[in-house]
Chains A and B, each alone.
Chain A
Amino acid sequence: MLDIGLTIFNGLSWGMATFLVAAGLTLIFGILHILNFAHGGFFMIGAYLSYTVMASIGGGLPVWLYILVALAAGIAVALMGILVDMVIFRRLRGVEDAYVLIATYALLLVCIGAVQLVWGLNFMSVMPPPALNSAFFIGDLIMPTYTLFVIICGVLVFVGLEVFMSFTHTGQLIRVVAMDSWMARLLGLDVKRIYLITVVISFALAGLAGGLLSANQSLSPELGGVFLLQAFAVVVVGGMGSIRGAFLAAILLGLIESFGSVFFPQYPGIYYLIALAVILLVRPQGLLGREQTA
């Protein structure tokens, strides 16, 4: 018999974990029009960094410290973002789409290579904080606290981003540039600085996601690619550049993947890809994308 509650819970878990990675990805695409392959790489670096910090502190971390470490990883990766924007992204303005994609892919390779050099090829794992290592029971439904924690983090990041984009001055400036960067420059806005801020936020989100999700899986240099593909699907389905769209798409694809795996357990991991193809055929611009983004 199908356990609908558990299936939905699993879907949300998939969705929010993916959204944590996709948030920064869709942000940077919305403003800079760069589809950043390297996002997966910096996500992975964030996970490894927080692994190192937590391993040196020792086991049995309180939850607040776990979050603090993840935030620190976010800041560290954001600093790398400054460098990446100045050295690479600035040179990619006005370059053909294909070359931009390839350049960020090259950067992903650099990230993977750096991780291999620093941390080696072996699998590593982070224990979740003891407080997150139990489970809630609602009737028959067993919900691991760590999974619940990830879902809450996903929602918080979404709400935080929405508030930031709607109510802060910087957020509003970013939206102005997203709408029409040429006009924004004409009106005297420092577009270059806004690009830099966007890149920094996006990279911080990648690092934060890495830190928050580091306890969820064994760390290996493959990690970046796995999440990247899911995040790509979420960004494309949501409508490239739309944070709200990515959030909706994350939930939708998570549920599709989760229900698909229940009904057809033979091929887990392909249902969201099939959904991606079908949705793009019906709505090429994505759920909440603007018409002209083709």
Chain B
Amino acid sequence: MTDFRARFWLNLLVALAGIVLFALVPSVFNRGVVFLAGLVAINVVFALSWNLLFAGVGLLSFGQAMFYAGGAYMMAVLSLHVPGMPFLLALLVGALTGGAIAFVFGVVALRRASGTYFAILTLAFAELVHIVITKTNFLGRNDGLVGIRRPVVDLGFTEINLGSGNTYYYFLIVAMAVAAFALWCLQNSPAGRLMQAIRQDPVRAAFLGADVQSWKLIAFIVSGCFAGFSGAVLAPWVQIVSPEIAHWSLSTQPILFSLLGGTGSFWGPALGAVLFGVMDYGTRNLQGLADLTVGLLLLAVVLAIPGGITGLLSRAFARRRIGAKQTAKLANGEKAS
């Protein structure tokens, strides 16, 4: 397992490099870009949570926004009605809210449905959550909830005031890096391996004694927790939650990020989220062009490079390696003859 240890440190390094890169943003760019960078960091975990399902157990979720909105709304409600609650506990509750929603709907959606049916069911359930939010007074109906505070966190030995300056931004990127790395550890744990076996061949996995349905449900709940966590961190960052974050167009965001970056590699969705943020920033003033470019780009990715950018890169590397091996072989062959 020395290989595993090497990969563990390498990926930890990737997460740390992510923190450093994001932490440099406020010193180089203006406040608007910092705000956007925060959203991108949140999207990274949101996208990774989706890919845990897609690349992990082979489930296509079209309803990821319901977990995200669940976490964000829980955070908002706690911030407005239970102001005394420790912030980190509130984050945890937000994440668990996403998981709870995933549990309730997952039991229904996973019992019989699979493939396309599963995608449609998740889409329908997310819309259900969306409509319930827009019609419930307690959740602010269409107006959403405003005035979410960035509180002071008591760590026991020291206090951090998240309300001042860019403190919440730094907190956010560290939280997202920790979540992303936790997801990496999960995917490379024995449980993660088992999930991959289930995706590759559910029948054989069941034959080997894996409880396929339970593992799918567990993956769904964990994915819901991480999506809920990213939503919970989002709420104090944007300081307003509105029903749009439960809309199905938001459910498709992590799909876009993941496919663009590549679902085959762990950091692919993260790369996609970052690239997407850059693109979004580039087309921010052009009405209608955003949807059009995103649509055309996604179409091109699916039709031409289904592996996404990371898939393209790894294939290019593999080709070079094979090329090198072949030339080596040829050279050896020539010597032998």
Contact = CB atoms under 8 A, between A and B. Distances in A.
A113 B54 contact: no
B101 interface: no
A279 to B, nearest CB: 11
A158 interface: no
B91 to A, nearest CB: 29
Interface residues of B, number: 43
A113 B289 contact: yes
Nearest to A282: B112
B248 A280 contact: no
Interface in B72-126: 108-109, 111-117, 119-121, 123-125
A287 B333 CA distance: 66
A229 B127 contact: yes
Contacts of B112: 280-281, 284
A106 B299 contact: yes
Contacts of A109: 291-292, 294-295, 298
A92 B111 CA distance: 29
B135 interface: yes
Contacts, number: 126
A117 B289 contact: yes
Interface of A: 35, 88, 91-92, 95, 97-99, 101-103, 105-117, 120-121, 225, 229, 232-233, 236, 240, 266-270, 273-274, 276-277, 280-281, 284, 294
30 contacts: A35-B119, A91-B303, A92-B303, A97-B115, A97-B116, A98-B60, A99-B302, A99-B306, A102-B259, A103-B298, A105-B252, A105-B255, A109-B295, A109-B298, A110-B296, A113-B288, A113-B289, A114-B288, A117-B292, A121-B287, A229-B123, A229-B248, A233-B120, A266-B135, A270-B128, A277-B108, A277-B109, A277-B124, A277-B125, A280-B117
Interface of B: 54, 60, 62, 108-109, 111-117, 119-121, 123-125, 127-128, 131-132, 135, 248-249, 252, 255, 259, 287-296, 298-299, 302-303, 306
- Sorted from nearest, which 10 A-B pairs have the closest CB atoms? A113-B292, A116-B288, A109-B295, A113-B291, A110-B295, A106-B298, A117-B288, A284-B112, A106-B299, A98-B60
